A and B are shown apart, each in its own frame.
Chain A
Amino acid sequence: MWRRGGSASRESVTTFDLAAVIADDIAFRHWYDMTAPRVYAYLYSRTGSASAAEELTQETFIEVVRSPRTFDGRSADALPWVIGIARHRLSRHFRRSKLDDGRSNELVREIEIAGEDTRPWRTIEQRADVVAALDGLPKDQRAALMLRFLDGLSVKAVADTLGRSEDATESLIRRARQSFEAAYRGAQ
Protein backbone atom coordinates (compact mmCIF):
# COMPACT_ATOMS: atom_id res chain seq x y z
CA MET A 1 0.00 0.00 0.00
CA TRP A 2 2.82 2.29 0.82
CA ARG A 3 5.81 2.72 -1.33
CA ARG A 4 8.97 4.66 -1.32
CA GLY A 5 9.85 7.43 -3.67
CA GLY A 6 11.97 6.38 -6.59
CA SER A 7 15.10 8.47 -6.55
CA ALA A 8 17.87 7.96 -4.04
CA SER A 9 17.77 11.57 -3.00
CA ARG A 10 14.11 11.30 -2.18
CA GLU A 11 14.04 7.95 -0.51
CA SER A 12 12.86 9.45 2.69
CA VAL A 13 9.71 10.71 1.01
CA THR A 14 6.81 8.41 1.73
CA THR A 15 4.18 8.35 -0.94
CA PHE A 16 0.70 7.00 -0.99
CA ASP A 17 -0.56 4.59 -3.61
CA LEU A 18 -4.26 5.32 -3.51
CA ALA A 19 -5.10 2.96 -6.35
CA ALA A 20 -3.50 0.09 -4.48
CA VAL A 21 -5.35 1.02 -1.33
CA ILE A 22 -8.67 1.06 -3.13
CA ALA A 23 -7.92 -2.27 -4.73
CA ASP A 24 -7.51 -3.91 -1.34
CA ASP A 25 -10.74 -4.39 0.59
CA ILE A 26 -9.27 -4.11 4.06
CA ALA A 27 -6.97 -1.21 3.27
CA PHE A 28 -9.74 0.55 1.44
CA ARG A 29 -12.12 0.21 4.38
CA HIS A 30 -9.53 1.51 6.77
CA TRP A 31 -8.72 4.47 4.60
CA TYR A 32 -12.38 5.10 3.94
CA ASP A 33 -13.20 5.07 7.67
CA MET A 34 -10.49 7.62 8.24
CA THR A 35 -11.33 9.84 5.30
CA ALA A 36 -15.05 9.75 4.65
CA PRO A 37 -16.13 11.31 7.96
CA ARG A 38 -13.80 14.21 7.36
CA VAL A 39 -15.10 14.70 3.87
CA TYR A 40 -18.64 14.53 5.14
CA ALA A 41 -17.84 17.02 7.88
CA TYR A 42 -16.29 19.34 5.34
CA LEU A 43 -19.37 19.17 3.19
CA TYR A 44 -21.90 19.31 5.98
CA SER A 45 -20.31 22.31 7.56
CA ARG A 46 -20.52 24.16 4.27
CA THR A 47 -23.98 23.10 3.19
CA GLY A 48 -25.69 22.78 6.54
CA SER A 49 -27.65 19.92 5.10
CA ALA A 50 -27.15 16.28 5.98
CA SER A 51 -28.78 15.09 2.78
CA ALA A 52 -26.66 17.40 0.64
CA ALA A 53 -23.53 16.39 2.52
CA GLU A 54 -24.32 12.71 2.01
CA GLU A 55 -25.03 13.20 -1.67
CA LEU A 56 -21.86 15.17 -2.22
CA THR A 57 -19.80 12.76 -0.15
CA GLN A 58 -21.08 9.95 -2.29
CA GLU A 59 -20.27 11.83 -5.48
CA THR A 60 -16.82 12.61 -4.18
CA PHE A 61 -15.95 9.04 -3.32
CA ILE A 62 -17.37 7.71 -6.53
CA GLU A 63 -14.95 9.98 -8.31
CA VAL A 64 -12.15 8.83 -6.05
CA VAL A 65 -12.85 5.20 -6.84
CA ARG A 66 -13.18 6.04 -10.49
CA SER A 67 -9.96 7.95 -10.78
CA PRO A 68 -7.53 7.01 -8.03
CA ARG A 69 -4.58 7.33 -10.35
CA THR A 70 -5.21 11.00 -10.84
CA PHE A 71 -3.88 11.39 -7.32
CA ASP A 72 -0.22 11.97 -7.89
CA GLY A 73 0.85 10.06 -4.79
CA ARG A 74 3.46 12.59 -3.86
CA SER A 75 1.77 13.26 -0.59
CA ALA A 76 1.48 10.74 2.20
CA ASP A 77 -2.08 11.85 2.74
CA ALA A 78 -4.69 11.82 0.00
CA LEU A 79 -7.19 13.74 2.10
CA PRO A 80 -6.36 17.18 0.66
CA TRP A 81 -6.81 15.74 -2.81
CA VAL A 82 -10.15 14.23 -1.85
CA ILE A 83 -11.22 17.49 -0.25
CA GLY A 84 -10.34 19.17 -3.52
CA ILE A 85 -12.76 16.89 -5.30
CA ALA A 86 -15.35 17.57 -2.63
CA ARG A 87 -14.91 21.28 -3.08
CA HIS A 88 -15.45 20.93 -6.80
CA ARG A 89 -18.63 18.99 -6.13
CA LEU A 90 -19.64 21.60 -3.61
CA SER A 91 -19.22 24.29 -6.20
CA ARG A 92 -21.49 22.47 -8.59
CA HIS A 93 -23.98 21.95 -5.82
CA PHE A 94 -24.08 25.65 -5.09
CA ARG A 95 -24.52 26.49 -8.70
CA ARG A 96 -27.38 24.07 -9.01
CA SER A 97 -28.88 25.39 -5.80
CA LYS A 98 -28.68 28.89 -7.14
CA LEU A 99 -30.82 27.89 -10.07
CA ASP A 100 -33.25 26.13 -7.77
CA ASP A 101 -33.38 29.12 -5.48
CA GLY A 102 -34.50 31.27 -8.32
CA ARG A 103 -37.46 29.02 -8.83
CA SER A 104 -38.40 28.85 -5.16
CA ASN A 105 -37.84 32.42 -4.08
CA GLU A 106 -41.51 33.26 -4.19
CA LEU A 107 -42.33 30.30 -1.99
CA VAL A 108 -39.68 31.25 0.53
CA ARG A 109 -40.97 34.78 0.72
CA GLU A 110 -44.47 33.51 1.40
CA ILE A 111 -43.23 31.27 4.20
CA GLU A 112 -41.25 34.07 5.77
CA ILE A 113 -44.24 36.31 5.83
CA ALA A 114 -46.59 33.76 7.21
CA GLY A 115 -44.34 31.79 9.50
CA GLU A 116 -41.79 32.28 12.19
CA ASP A 117 -39.00 34.77 12.07
CA THR A 118 -36.11 32.97 10.43
CA ARG A 119 -33.51 35.64 10.83
CA PRO A 120 -30.44 33.90 12.16
CA TRP A 121 -29.96 35.99 15.25
CA ARG A 122 -33.53 35.21 16.27
CA THR A 123 -33.35 31.48 15.86
CA ILE A 124 -29.95 31.23 17.40
CA GLU A 125 -30.85 32.93 20.63
CA GLN A 126 -32.20 29.67 21.95
CA ARG A 127 -29.05 27.75 21.12
CA ALA A 128 -25.75 27.73 22.90
CA ASP A 129 -22.97 26.62 20.62
CA VAL A 130 -21.14 27.63 17.57
CA VAL A 131 -22.67 24.87 15.50
CA ALA A 132 -26.07 26.31 16.13
CA ALA A 133 -24.82 29.74 15.21
CA LEU A 134 -23.59 28.43 11.97
CA ASP A 135 -26.73 26.46 11.39
CA GLY A 136 -28.68 29.64 11.67
CA LEU A 137 -27.01 31.25 8.72
CA PRO A 138 -28.56 31.22 5.30
CA LYS A 139 -26.82 28.57 3.29
CA ASP A 140 -25.04 30.95 0.98
CA GLN A 141 -23.67 32.94 3.92
CA ARG A 142 -22.62 29.77 5.66
CA ALA A 143 -20.81 28.50 2.62
CA ALA A 144 -19.12 31.83 1.96
CA LEU A 145 -17.93 32.07 5.52
CA MET A 146 -16.48 28.58 5.59
CA LEU A 147 -14.81 28.84 2.22
CA ARG A 148 -13.32 32.21 2.98
CA PHE A 149 -12.07 31.67 6.51
CA LEU A 150 -11.70 27.93 6.93
CA ASP A 151 -10.58 27.00 3.42
CA GLY A 152 -8.66 30.22 3.06
CA LEU A 153 -10.00 30.88 -0.38
CA SER A 154 -9.72 34.31 -1.88
CA VAL A 155 -12.87 36.31 -2.40
CA LYS A 156 -12.57 35.62 -6.10
CA ALA A 157 -12.24 31.88 -5.51
CA VAL A 158 -15.26 31.92 -3.23
CA ALA A 159 -17.14 33.85 -5.88
CA ASP A 160 -16.19 31.28 -8.49
CA THR A 161 -17.25 28.45 -6.22
CA LEU A 162 -20.61 29.96 -5.48
CA GLY A 163 -21.22 31.23 -8.98
CA ARG A 164 -21.49 34.84 -7.93
CA SER A 165 -19.79 38.05 -8.81
CA GLU A 166 -16.81 39.12 -6.77
CA ASP A 167 -18.56 42.21 -5.45
CA ALA A 168 -21.63 40.28 -4.43
CA THR A 169 -19.47 37.69 -2.75
CA GLU A 170 -17.54 40.27 -0.79
CA SER A 171 -20.80 41.66 0.45
CA LEU A 172 -22.07 38.18 1.21
CA ILE A 173 -19.02 37.35 3.28
CA ARG A 174 -19.34 40.58 5.21
CA ARG A 175 -22.98 39.92 6.01
CA ALA A 176 -22.22 36.32 6.86
CA ARG A 177 -19.58 37.36 9.31
CA GLN A 178 -21.84 39.90 10.92
CA SER A 179 -24.70 37.43 11.15
CA PHE A 180 -22.52 34.71 12.57
CA GLU A 181 -20.96 36.94 15.15
CA ALA A 182 -24.29 38.36 16.15
CA ALA A 183 -25.71 34.88 16.55
CA TYR A 184 -22.69 33.62 18.39
CA ARG A 185 -22.56 36.53 20.81
CA GLY A 186 -26.28 36.28 21.31
CA ALA A 187 -25.86 32.70 22.37
CA GLN A 188 -23.22 33.55 24.95
Chain B
Amino acid sequence: MLPDDRLRDLLQQAEDRARPEPEFMDGLFDDLLTRRRRHVLRLGRWELPRPVAYGALVPLVVVVAVVGFLGVTSPRSPSTGVGGVSPSPSASASPAPAASPAGSGDQGPMALVDAESETFRYLAPDGWDTFDASSPELPDVVNVLRLGQQDPEDDWTAADITARSIEFLADTGDHVVGEGAVAIDPASNGVDGALVISVGEFGSMTPAFAGTQLSENMGAATAAGDVTEPLSREIGLGEATSVSGAYPSGHVMHRAYVPIGNDEVIEIALVTKLGRDDSAPLFEAILNSIERATESPSSYRTCLVALDPVSSPALGETILFTGNGFRPGSVVVATDVGPTGTHPIEAKAPEQFQVGADGTFGPIDLTYSGPEEIGSHAITFTDGVCESTLEFTIGG
Protein backbone atom coordinates (compact mmCIF):
# COMPACT_ATOMS: atom_id res chain seq x y z
CA MET B 1 0.00 0.00 0.00
CA LEU B 2 1.20 3.50 -0.77
CA PRO B 3 2.25 5.53 2.25
CA ASP B 4 -0.06 8.37 3.13
CA ASP B 5 2.53 10.99 2.20
CA ARG B 6 3.06 9.44 -1.18
CA LEU B 7 -0.65 9.17 -1.78
CA ARG B 8 -1.09 12.80 -0.78
CA ASP B 9 1.68 13.85 -3.13
CA LEU B 10 0.10 12.00 -6.01
CA LEU B 11 -3.28 13.54 -5.35
CA GLN B 12 -1.70 16.97 -5.18
CA GLN B 13 -0.12 16.33 -8.56
CA ALA B 14 -3.52 15.56 -9.95
CA GLU B 15 -4.95 18.74 -8.54
CA ASP B 16 -2.10 20.86 -9.81
CA ARG B 17 -2.65 19.71 -13.36
CA ALA B 18 -6.22 20.91 -13.56
CA ARG B 19 -6.59 24.18 -15.46
CA PRO B 20 -9.70 26.08 -16.39
CA GLU B 21 -10.37 27.13 -19.94
CA PRO B 22 -9.34 30.74 -20.64
CA GLU B 23 -12.79 31.41 -22.08
CA PHE B 24 -14.35 30.32 -18.85
CA MET B 25 -12.01 32.47 -16.83
CA ASP B 26 -12.73 35.57 -18.89
CA GLY B 27 -16.45 34.93 -18.98
CA LEU B 28 -16.67 34.43 -15.27
CA PHE B 29 -14.68 37.54 -14.58
CA ASP B 30 -16.93 39.63 -16.78
CA ASP B 31 -19.90 38.17 -14.99
CA LEU B 32 -18.38 38.99 -11.63
CA LEU B 33 -17.76 42.57 -12.65
CA THR B 34 -21.39 42.90 -13.54
CA ARG B 35 -22.47 41.32 -10.32
CA ARG B 36 -20.10 43.43 -8.32
CA ARG B 37 -21.64 46.53 -9.81
CA ARG B 38 -25.09 45.29 -9.07
CA HIS B 39 -24.37 43.78 -5.77
CA VAL B 40 -25.80 45.92 -3.09
CA LEU B 41 -26.51 43.55 -0.30
CA ARG B 42 -24.50 41.23 1.79
CA LEU B 43 -27.28 39.24 3.29
CA GLY B 44 -28.11 35.65 2.75
CA ARG B 45 -26.45 32.97 0.73
CA TRP B 46 -28.67 31.97 -2.05
CA GLU B 47 -28.09 29.53 -4.70
CA LEU B 48 -29.95 30.63 -7.74
CA PRO B 49 -30.00 28.35 -10.68
CA ARG B 50 -31.30 30.93 -13.09
CA PRO B 51 -32.96 34.26 -13.26
CA VAL B 52 -36.67 34.45 -13.02
CA ALA B 53 -38.22 35.05 -16.37
CA TYR B 54 -41.77 36.08 -16.64
CA GLY B 55 -42.77 37.26 -20.02
CA ALA B 56 -41.28 39.98 -22.08
CA LEU B 57 -42.57 42.79 -19.96
CA VAL B 58 -41.81 41.25 -16.65
CA PRO B 59 -38.07 40.89 -16.34
CA LEU B 60 -38.04 40.68 -12.64
CA VAL B 61 -40.09 41.77 -9.79
CA VAL B 62 -40.13 40.16 -6.47
CA VAL B 63 -43.43 40.31 -4.85
CA VAL B 64 -43.99 39.71 -1.28
CA ALA B 65 -47.46 39.72 -0.01
CA VAL B 66 -47.88 40.91 3.48
CA VAL B 67 -50.81 38.97 4.62
CA GLY B 68 -52.70 40.87 7.16
CA PHE B 69 -55.45 39.79 9.41
CA LEU B 70 -56.06 36.17 8.83
CA GLY B 71 -59.44 35.32 7.54
CA VAL B 72 -59.95 38.56 5.70
CA THR B 73 -61.98 37.72 2.68
CA SER B 74 -62.01 39.54 -0.53
CA PRO B 75 -65.06 41.35 -1.78
CA ARG B 76 -63.63 41.23 -5.25
CA SER B 77 -62.98 38.59 -7.75
CA PRO B 78 -59.43 38.16 -8.80
CA SER B 79 -58.29 40.66 -11.33
CA THR B 80 -55.30 39.75 -13.34
CA GLY B 81 -54.55 41.91 -16.27
CA VAL B 82 -51.23 42.12 -18.00
CA GLY B 83 -48.66 41.22 -15.47
CA GLY B 84 -51.31 40.42 -12.96
CA VAL B 85 -51.15 37.43 -10.81
CA SER B 86 -53.77 35.04 -9.77
CA PRO B 87 -54.35 34.72 -6.10
CA SER B 88 -51.68 32.71 -4.47
CA PRO B 89 -53.00 29.67 -2.69
CA SER B 90 -51.10 30.67 0.36
CA ALA B 91 -52.19 34.26 0.20
CA SER B 92 -55.83 33.68 -0.30
CA ALA B 93 -58.75 34.05 2.02
CA SER B 94 -57.51 31.14 4.06
CA PRO B 95 -53.90 31.97 3.75
CA ALA B 96 -51.94 30.41 6.51
CA PRO B 97 -51.48 26.69 6.64
CA ALA B 98 -49.79 27.00 9.99
CA ALA B 99 -51.10 30.14 11.52
CA SER B 100 -51.02 29.10 15.09
CA PRO B 101 -49.32 31.43 17.49
CA ALA B 102 -45.65 30.93 18.05
CA GLY B 103 -45.46 32.31 21.49
CA SER B 104 -44.33 35.65 20.27
CA GLY B 105 -47.12 38.01 20.98
CA ASP B 106 -48.99 39.13 17.92
CA GLN B 107 -46.59 37.44 15.64
CA GLY B 108 -47.66 34.31 13.92
CA PRO B 109 -45.64 31.83 11.96
CA MET B 110 -46.43 30.80 8.51
CA ALA B 111 -45.42 27.53 7.04
CA LEU B 112 -44.50 27.78 3.43
CA VAL B 113 -44.46 24.37 1.84
CA ASP B 114 -42.68 24.17 -1.41
CA ALA B 115 -42.79 21.61 -4.13
CA GLU B 116 -40.36 19.39 -2.31
CA SER B 117 -42.41 19.57 0.84
CA GLU B 118 -39.80 21.42 2.74
CA THR B 119 -41.32 23.65 5.32
CA PHE B 120 -39.99 26.89 6.59
CA ARG B 121 -41.36 29.36 9.00
CA TYR B 122 -41.42 33.06 8.78
CA LEU B 123 -42.45 35.52 11.37
CA ALA B 124 -44.02 38.76 10.44
CA PRO B 125 -43.43 41.94 12.37
CA ASP B 126 -45.72 42.82 15.20
CA GLY B 127 -49.22 43.30 13.99
CA TRP B 128 -48.71 41.50 10.75
CA ASP B 129 -49.90 38.03 11.17
CA THR B 130 -48.19 36.18 8.42
CA PHE B 131 -45.71 36.76 5.76
CA ASP B 132 -45.79 35.04 2.47
CA ALA B 133 -44.13 34.98 -0.85
CA SER B 134 -46.66 34.62 -3.55
CA SER B 135 -47.36 34.27 -7.17
CA PRO B 136 -48.11 31.04 -8.94
CA GLU B 137 -46.97 32.75 -12.11
CA LEU B 138 -43.64 33.53 -10.58
CA PRO B 139 -42.90 30.18 -8.99
CA ASP B 140 -39.27 30.99 -8.57
CA VAL B 141 -40.20 33.75 -6.21
CA VAL B 142 -41.39 31.17 -3.76
CA ASN B 143 -38.31 29.21 -4.59
CA VAL B 144 -36.22 32.19 -3.75
CA LEU B 145 -37.52 32.33 -0.27
CA ARG B 146 -37.07 28.64 0.12
CA LEU B 147 -33.53 28.80 -1.04
CA GLY B 148 -32.90 31.84 1.00
CA GLN B 149 -33.94 30.14 4.16
CA GLN B 150 -30.70 28.63 5.27
CA ASP B 151 -31.77 27.79 8.73
CA PRO B 152 -35.38 26.78 9.35
CA GLU B 153 -34.98 27.78 12.96
CA ASP B 154 -34.00 31.25 11.97
CA ASP B 155 -36.99 33.51 12.32
CA TRP B 156 -36.75 36.16 9.72
CA THR B 157 -38.36 39.49 9.99
CA ALA B 158 -40.20 41.04 7.13
CA ALA B 159 -37.28 43.31 6.52
CA ASP B 160 -34.88 40.42 6.37
CA ILE B 161 -36.94 38.65 3.82
CA THR B 162 -37.33 41.79 1.85
CA ALA B 163 -33.65 42.47 1.87
CA ARG B 164 -32.91 38.97 0.75
CA SER B 165 -35.46 39.29 -2.00
CA ILE B 166 -33.60 42.27 -3.22
CA GLU B 167 -30.41 40.42 -3.12
CA PHE B 168 -31.97 37.90 -5.38
CA LEU B 169 -32.73 40.64 -7.82
CA ALA B 170 -29.26 41.96 -7.58
CA ASP B 171 -27.89 38.52 -8.17
CA THR B 172 -29.66 37.98 -11.41
CA GLY B 173 -27.39 40.21 -13.38
CA ASP B 174 -28.53 41.99 -16.44
CA HIS B 175 -31.99 40.62 -16.36
CA VAL B 176 -33.24 42.94 -13.71
CA VAL B 177 -33.22 46.12 -15.71
CA GLY B 178 -36.31 47.01 -17.58
CA GLU B 179 -39.91 47.60 -17.13
CA GLY B 180 -41.36 46.57 -13.93
CA ALA B 181 -44.32 44.39 -13.61
CA VAL B 182 -47.39 43.89 -11.70
CA ALA B 183 -47.59 41.40 -9.06
CA ILE B 184 -50.52 41.03 -6.86
CA ASP B 185 -53.82 42.49 -6.19
CA PRO B 186 -54.08 42.85 -2.45
CA ALA B 187 -57.81 43.19 -2.53
CA SER B 188 -58.53 40.15 -4.63
CA ASN B 189 -56.12 38.12 -2.61
CA GLY B 190 -57.75 38.96 0.62
CA VAL B 191 -54.68 40.55 2.08
CA ASP B 192 -54.14 43.84 3.68
CA GLY B 193 -51.12 44.78 1.74
CA ALA B 194 -48.64 43.92 -0.91
CA LEU B 195 -45.06 44.80 -1.37
CA VAL B 196 -43.33 45.10 -4.70
CA ILE B 197 -39.60 45.44 -5.02
CA SER B 198 -37.73 45.90 -8.23
CA VAL B 199 -34.33 46.99 -9.37
CA GLY B 200 -33.62 48.94 -12.48
CA GLU B 201 -32.96 52.29 -13.97
CA PHE B 202 -34.79 55.01 -12.27
CA GLY B 203 -37.95 55.83 -14.13
CA SER B 204 -37.98 52.59 -16.03
CA MET B 205 -39.85 50.65 -13.45
CA THR B 206 -43.55 50.65 -13.22
CA PRO B 207 -44.70 48.57 -10.34
CA ALA B 208 -48.39 48.51 -10.00
CA PHE B 209 -51.07 46.32 -8.72
CA ALA B 210 -53.49 44.17 -10.56
CA GLY B 211 -56.81 45.70 -11.24
CA THR B 212 -55.25 48.81 -12.62
CA GLN B 213 -52.16 47.80 -14.43
CA LEU B 214 -49.67 50.56 -14.48
CA SER B 215 -47.49 48.97 -17.08
CA GLU B 216 -50.52 48.54 -19.25
CA ASN B 217 -51.59 52.10 -18.61
CA MET B 218 -48.16 53.36 -19.32
CA GLY B 219 -48.01 51.65 -22.66
CA ALA B 220 -51.39 53.00 -23.63
CA ALA B 221 -50.56 56.48 -22.45
CA THR B 222 -47.29 56.51 -24.30
CA ALA B 223 -48.96 55.36 -27.46
CA ALA B 224 -51.44 58.17 -27.15
CA GLY B 225 -48.75 60.70 -26.44
CA ASP B 226 -50.30 61.34 -23.10
CA VAL B 227 -47.64 60.90 -20.48
CA THR B 228 -47.60 61.86 -16.89
CA GLU B 229 -46.01 65.09 -15.83
CA PRO B 230 -42.35 64.68 -14.93
CA LEU B 231 -41.64 64.63 -11.26
CA SER B 232 -38.38 65.77 -9.83
CA ARG B 233 -36.75 63.63 -7.22
CA GLU B 234 -33.93 64.65 -5.01
CA ILE B 235 -32.08 61.42 -4.94
CA GLY B 236 -29.05 62.38 -6.89
CA LEU B 237 -30.26 61.03 -10.13
CA GLY B 238 -31.48 64.21 -11.68
CA GLU B 239 -34.76 64.71 -13.38
CA ALA B 240 -36.66 61.63 -14.18
CA THR B 241 -40.09 60.81 -15.27
CA SER B 242 -42.29 58.94 -12.96
CA VAL B 243 -45.68 57.55 -13.54
CA SER B 244 -48.13 57.65 -10.79
CA GLY B 245 -49.28 54.36 -9.51
CA ALA B 246 -52.75 53.04 -9.28
CA TYR B 247 -54.15 50.41 -7.07
CA PRO B 248 -57.46 49.32 -5.66
CA SER B 249 -59.66 51.87 -4.01
CA GLY B 250 -59.26 52.25 -0.34
CA HIS B 251 -55.55 51.59 -0.37
CA VAL B 252 -52.56 53.76 0.16
CA MET B 253 -49.17 53.35 -1.36
CA HIS B 254 -45.75 54.02 0.06
CA ARG B 255 -43.01 54.14 -2.44
CA ALA B 256 -39.31 54.82 -2.13
CA TYR B 257 -36.24 54.65 -4.27
CA VAL B 258 -32.87 53.60 -2.98
CA PRO B 259 -30.03 54.62 -5.29
CA ILE B 260 -27.50 51.88 -5.84
CA GLY B 261 -25.30 53.62 -8.37
CA ASN B 262 -25.09 53.59 -12.12
CA ASP B 263 -28.38 55.39 -12.33
CA GLU B 264 -30.12 52.42 -10.88
CA VAL B 265 -32.39 52.24 -7.95
CA ILE B 266 -34.19 49.74 -5.87
CA GLU B 267 -37.80 50.63 -5.91
CA ILE B 268 -39.93 49.59 -3.03
CA ALA B 269 -43.66 50.02 -3.13
CA LEU B 270 -45.97 48.97 -0.38
CA VAL B 271 -49.69 49.15 -0.80
CA THR B 272 -51.88 48.65 2.18
CA LYS B 273 -55.46 49.14 3.00
CA LEU B 274 -56.31 52.50 4.40
CA GLY B 275 -56.54 52.36 8.12
CA ARG B 276 -53.58 50.13 8.67
CA ASP B 277 -51.66 52.46 10.84
CA ASP B 278 -48.71 50.14 10.95
CA SER B 279 -48.08 50.29 7.24
CA ALA B 280 -45.80 53.30 7.49
CA PRO B 281 -43.64 51.83 10.28
CA LEU B 282 -43.45 48.56 8.42
CA PHE B 283 -42.38 50.28 5.28
CA GLU B 284 -39.87 52.33 7.13
CA ALA B 285 -38.45 49.21 8.74
CA ILE B 286 -38.13 47.53 5.39
CA LEU B 287 -36.56 50.57 3.90
CA ASN B 288 -34.16 51.01 6.75
CA SER B 289 -33.08 47.44 6.33
CA ILE B 290 -32.43 48.00 2.67
CA GLU B 291 -30.62 51.22 3.32
CA ARG B 292 -28.40 49.58 5.86
CA ALA B 293 -27.63 46.80 3.49
CA THR B 294 -26.95 49.10 0.60
CA GLU B 295 -25.33 51.76 2.72
CA SER B 296 -27.40 54.19 0.77
CA PRO B 297 -29.79 56.79 2.07
CA SER B 298 -32.98 56.77 0.13
CA SER B 299 -35.36 59.49 -0.74
CA TYR B 300 -37.95 58.06 1.52
CA ARG B 301 -39.82 59.85 4.16
CA THR B 302 -43.17 58.67 5.31
CA CYS B 303 -45.87 60.71 3.71
CA LEU B 304 -49.48 59.89 3.43
CA VAL B 305 -52.55 61.44 1.96
CA ALA B 306 -55.82 60.38 3.38
CA LEU B 307 -59.10 60.53 1.55
CA ASP B 308 -62.26 61.48 3.30
CA PRO B 309 -64.99 60.54 3.59
CA VAL B 310 -65.36 57.77 1.03
CA SER B 311 -63.32 56.11 -1.63
CA SER B 312 -66.10 56.31 -4.21
CA PRO B 313 -67.57 59.80 -4.01
CA ALA B 314 -70.46 60.82 -6.20
CA LEU B 315 -70.11 63.42 -8.88
CA GLY B 316 -70.42 66.82 -7.23
CA GLU B 317 -69.60 65.51 -3.80
CA THR B 318 -66.84 67.29 -1.95
CA ILE B 319 -63.77 65.21 -1.32
CA LEU B 320 -61.33 66.03 1.42
CA PHE B 321 -57.68 65.18 1.27
CA THR B 322 -55.33 65.47 4.18
CA GLY B 323 -51.60 65.00 3.90
CA ASN B 324 -48.93 64.50 6.48
CA GLY B 325 -45.31 63.56 6.57
CA PHE B 326 -44.36 65.82 3.70
CA ARG B 327 -41.35 68.06 3.63
CA PRO B 328 -42.05 71.04 5.87
CA GLY B 329 -42.45 74.22 3.91
CA SER B 330 -42.59 72.51 0.56
CA VAL B 331 -45.31 72.76 -2.01
CA VAL B 332 -46.94 69.52 -2.90
CA VAL B 333 -47.65 68.87 -6.53
CA ALA B 334 -50.60 66.67 -7.31
CA THR B 335 -51.23 64.91 -10.57
CA ASP B 336 -54.48 63.24 -11.37
CA VAL B 337 -54.72 60.38 -13.81
CA GLY B 338 -58.37 60.16 -14.61
CA PRO B 339 -60.88 59.59 -17.38
CA THR B 340 -59.94 62.86 -19.04
CA GLY B 341 -56.27 62.06 -19.04
CA THR B 342 -53.43 63.23 -16.90
CA HIS B 343 -53.40 66.69 -15.49
CA PRO B 344 -52.24 68.59 -12.46
CA ILE B 345 -54.94 69.46 -9.99
CA GLU B 346 -53.31 72.52 -8.43
CA ALA B 347 -55.55 74.74 -10.47
CA LYS B 348 -58.47 73.44 -8.54
CA ALA B 349 -57.11 74.20 -5.13
CA PRO B 350 -53.64 75.74 -5.37
CA GLU B 351 -53.55 77.44 -2.02
CA GLN B 352 -54.15 74.21 -0.18
CA PHE B 353 -50.95 72.46 -1.18
CA GLN B 354 -48.57 74.43 0.94
CA VAL B 355 -47.06 72.08 3.49
CA GLY B 356 -46.89 73.42 7.00
CA ALA B 357 -44.02 73.28 9.43
CA ASP B 358 -45.47 70.08 10.83
CA GLY B 359 -45.35 68.37 7.46
CA THR B 360 -49.08 68.45 6.93
CA PHE B 361 -51.37 70.06 4.44
CA GLY B 362 -55.09 70.20 3.99
CA PRO B 363 -57.73 69.32 4.32
CA ILE B 364 -58.14 70.08 0.66
CA ASP B 365 -61.61 70.12 -0.64
CA LEU B 366 -62.04 69.06 -4.19
CA THR B 367 -65.14 68.53 -6.22
CA TYR B 368 -65.46 66.83 -9.53
CA SER B 369 -68.44 68.27 -11.34
CA GLY B 370 -68.28 67.38 -14.99
CA PRO B 371 -69.72 64.09 -16.15
CA GLU B 372 -66.49 63.45 -18.01
CA GLU B 373 -64.85 62.97 -14.63
CA ILE B 374 -66.91 59.91 -13.82
CA GLY B 375 -64.66 56.96 -13.43
CA SER B 376 -61.35 56.06 -11.84
CA HIS B 377 -58.90 58.66 -10.65
CA ALA B 378 -55.45 58.27 -9.20
CA ILE B 379 -53.88 61.32 -7.67
CA THR B 380 -50.23 61.35 -6.82
CA PHE B 381 -49.08 63.90 -4.29
CA THR B 382 -45.40 64.64 -4.14
CA ASP B 383 -43.17 67.19 -2.53
CA GLY B 384 -40.37 66.26 -4.89
CA VAL B 385 -38.95 63.63 -2.60
CA CYS B 386 -41.81 61.78 -1.06
CA GLU B 387 -45.00 60.85 -2.75
CA SER B 388 -48.31 59.31 -1.89
CA THR B 389 -50.97 58.17 -4.29
CA LEU B 390 -54.64 57.69 -3.82
CA GLU B 391 -57.10 56.08 -6.12
CA PHE B 392 -60.79 56.61 -5.97
CA THR B 393 -63.76 56.41 -8.25
CA ILE B 394 -66.16 59.20 -9.06
CA GLY B 395 -69.59 57.76 -9.31
CA GLY B 396 -72.30 59.03 -11.60
Contact = CB atoms under 8 A, between A and B. Distances in A.
B171 A134 contact: no
Given A33-B25, A150-B15, A181-B2, A69 B42 contact: yes
Contact of B10 (A42, A62, A69, A130): A130
A33 B42 CA distance: 24
Nearest to A63: B45
A130 B8 CA distance: 11
Interface in B157-200: 167, 171
Contacts of A66: 35, 39, 41-42, 45, 167, 171
Contact of B19 (A25, A37, A61): A37
Given A45-B15, A92-B47, A134-B11, A37 B20 contact: yes
Contact of A42 (B15, B24, B32): B15
B7 interface: yes
B47 A32 contact: no
Interface stretch (A9-17, A51-59, A111-119, A153-161): A51-59
Interface in A130-173: 130-131, 133-134, 145-146, 149-150
A41 interface: yes
A186 to B, nearest CB: 13
What is the predominant secondary structure among interface residues of chain A facing chain B? helix
B314 to A, nearest CB: 55
A131 B2 contact: no
Contacts of A37: 19-20, 25
Contacts of A79: none
Nearest to B1: A181
Contact of B14 (A57, A61, A62, A134): A134
Nearest to B29: A32
Contact of A41 (B7, B15, B36, B167): B15
Contact of B18 (A25, A41, A133, A177): A41
Interface string A4-32: 00000000000000000011010011001
B19 A40 contact: yes
B28 interface: yes
Interface string B115-133: 0000000000000000000
8 nearest A-B residue pairs (beta carbon): A41-B18, A45-B15, A44-B18, A40-B20, A134-B14, A150-B11, A130-B10, A131-B14
